[in-house]
Chain A
Amino acid sequence: MMAHWLRRNWPLLAAHVGGWYPLASLLLDAARQRLTANPIQYITLHTGKPALVLLVLCLACTPADHFFAVRPALRVRKLLGLYAFGYATLHFFIFAVIDYGLDVSQIMNIVAKKPYALVGFSALLALLPLALTSTRGWQRRLGSKWKQLHRLVYVAGLLAVVHYIWLVKSDVRQPLLWAAAVGALLLLRLRAASPLAAATRTWVRRQLTRVQ
């Protein structure tokens, strides 16, 4: 029974575990007083990074299916996107409420003057309608417009990596890697890439049947 459920639903389980893991490890850090001497910065960074990682994983789902015939990826795409949105919201909440104590004038000043804050905030705003319309009901109601709307996820991904690049002091190698990942995943979705996708998918399927 359990084994059967697992065989069918392991992707969902993995996505939930992956989605909760960053928060759990953050809470564990807090319990063990391991949030460093600068805890607010620590929790800010450790909610921002999971948001980006989950968003990139979410963006990778469709190409994983198209190019490598990883069907289960499609079942976790929405979940990963929602978790990413959750961490992004938490990240913003920490910035606005905990770090700046809802000091609206200071926050507005920073968002208006500092491009990194504005860009990060825009990424969150881009994710918001996607989270709100992520249900089947909204998918039905919006019809073909739903798909168009949800392309915003690439805008969010690009804004998120720019936010990351502008944040680091000087060594931008890590953020550039994430930017390259988002860029590559975006390129894989272009129409020009679809013959390549079909070819690799067929090849992968053939290999799989041969193994079986």
Chain B
Amino acid sequence: MQKIRSSEITSAAEYVAYQRTLSRRGLLGALAGVAGGVLAAACAPASGAVDAQPAATMAADPTMAPVPTSAGTVAAPAIAATPASVAANADELGDSFTERASVTGYNNYYEFSTDKEGVAPAAAGFAVDPWTVQVGGLVNKPATFDIGQLRRQFGEEERVYRLRCVEAWSMVIPWQGFQLSKLLEAVEPQGAAKYVRFETLLDPARMPGQQQAWYSWPYVEGLRLDEAMHSLTLLATGLYGSALLPQNGAPLRLVTPWKYGFKSIKAIVKIDLVAEQPTSLWMAAAPNEYGFYANVNPQVDHPRWSQASERRIGEFSRRPTLPFNGYADAVAGLYAGMDLQANF
């Protein structure tokens, strides 16, 4: 029997997220009359070193033990660039996807407009091809990727994530993209690299909001290296089965579902591995209100408003906000021993 290191074992919440993908596929498979065993094989990662489980059990019991993979991360089935199936239409907690019209029509994206409904019209026609992403800093293999090359090289898988905005509203979004860890592994971070710094395109002519001098453009965000390498951390290239629209951060945006939405930087052109903690645009704008970590935390209020509850877009009443936006099992360990009041 192959020995499995504990570091290779996927945590429960990650597994639940993984399960989501599986069960959706499972449903499709059932519809197609495909036997469970075949499905399990179909869901296995390309590298294939997975304990085979009968698919029926996997789909039915989300509480079962995690499935370790050779890569030590959640293995998502290889998905072609075709629109993802969204049969189940809900996240692992059973909450329905937010309507596509809201996801693509209600956006915080100050590069285009400070009016959330004004972003989509302002961003319409924003050209995202050609687009290159420079990955460098403290790495052995710095590289400039064309966006198409990124998609081909790292693939596209579906992840259903909750997005919790710091303004206390939230959505459930079916993203497509690839794990940031794949890209980082490809450029080989050096030992001195402790953080990842992301930068949005700076082009005031095409992003009229950048003509406003109030903020220090371009938008900058950062993650600690372990956060960046975490299997939940996604570089999204699509949502709801089609390529990202400009208002959602096309062609490439970060998604860190356990952090407030402003961490998920859009229209990324530059990713650098660095030794020092980067200063994000929001940290620079209001250091006492927006911290580096920005983990969703109902116990730590924004200095001026409460974070205890949120409104899910499309719902009438508020719902309580979950620690780490419901991903505590997967990510709380990253912050063990840290004072989350101080590191907000």
Contact = CB atoms under 8 A, between A and B. Distances in A.
Interface residue tally of chain A, by bracket? 20 to 34
A167 B167 CA distance: 10
A171 B214 contact: yes
Contacts of A101: 317-318
Give chain A's interface secondary structure class.
Answer: helix
A114 B105 contact: no
B102 A37 contact: yes
Contact of A113 (B106, B169, B306, B318): B306
A147 B153 CA distance: 75
Given A100-B318, A169-B167, A38 B304 contact: no
A109 interface: yes
Contact of A38 (B305, B306, B311): B311
B11 interface: no
Nearest to A114: B305
Contacts of A36: 106, 116-117
B305 A116 contact: yes
Nearest to B212: A171
B314 interface: yes
A173 interface: yes
Interface in B67-125: 99, 101-102, 105-106, 114, 116-117
B114 A171 contact: yes
A150 to B, nearest CB: 31
A173 B169 contact: no
Contact of A37 (B105, B167, B301, B318): B105
A109 B299 CA distance: 13
Contacts of A100: 318
A106 B286 contact: no
Query: Secondary structure at chain B's binding surface: helix, strand, loop or mixed?
Result: loop
A48 B308 CA distance: 23
A100 B318 CA distance: 7
Interface string B311-324: 10110111000000
Interface string B296-308: 0000010011101
B143 interface: no
A148 interface: no
A121 to B, nearest CB: 14
B38 interface: no
A103 B18 CA distance: 36
Contacts of B282: 170
Given A36-B117, A37-B106, A173 B214 contact: yes
A144 B285 CA distance: 49
B301 A99 contact: no
B52 to A, nearest CB: 43
A108 to B, nearest CB: 12
B304 A114 contact: yes
A115 B101 CA distance: 35
A40 interface: yes
Interface centre among B106, B304, B311, B314, by most chain A C-beta atoms within 10 angstroms, is B304
A115 B304 contact: yes
A166 interface: yes
Nearest to A171: B214
B214 A114 contact: no
A109 B309 CA distance: 12
A13 to B, nearest CB: 32
Contact of B318 (A99, A116, A169, A173): A99
Contacts of A194: none
Interface of A: 36-38, 40-41, 99-101, 106, 109-110, 113-116, 166-167, 169-171, 173
Top 9 A-B pairs, shortest CB-CB distance? A37-B106, A37-B102, A170-B285, A37-B313, A171-B214, A170-B286, A110-B306, A36-B117, A166-B304
13 contacts: A37-B99, A37-B105, A38-B106, A38-B169, A38-B311, A40-B311, A99-B318, A101-B317, A110-B305, A114-B304, A116-B305, A170-B286, A171-B214
Given A113-B301, A116-B304, A170-B282, 7 more contacts: A37-B106, A38-B116, A38-B313, A99-B318, A113-B306, A170-B214, A170-B285
Interface of B: 99, 101-102, 105-106, 114, 116-117, 167, 169, 214-215, 282, 285-286, 289, 301, 304-306, 308-309, 311, 313-314, 316-318
